[in-house]
Structure 1
Amino acid sequence: MFQTGNQGKSPATFRVVVTEGGPSEGTLQLTLLTPFEFVLPTEYVLDGQIDTR
């Protein structure tokens, strides 16, 4: 679901891309595909690790 502010919520499709790694190496990047395309900034791991195995 996509929060549309005062209008409520609407169905949405997202793409998530993750990169394996620990602090400052592992990443998560989210793109909203519908109801419109919007690329969110890449987030980096601060603590812990992303393991794609």
Structure 2
Amino acid sequence: MSRTEAVAVFVPSVRHFDDGRVPAELIAAADVVTVDDQHTHTRPAEPADSSRDRR
């Protein structure tokens, strides 16, 4: 994922993955959208970078 800098991956369904689950490592790298049920498995929100606001 880091080579492509993709922010989302579309897959046919969760059955595409072993055990019928989206790997946590993939969700950590990009949002995963399953086409069959149109569900989006989203990455955790990144904390805001407050260091930019400091003067």
TM-score by length of 2: 0.22
Greater helix fraction, Structure 1 or Structure 2: 2
TM-score by length of 1: 0.22
Greater strand fraction, Structure 1 or Structure 2: 1
- Structure showing greater radius of gyration is 2
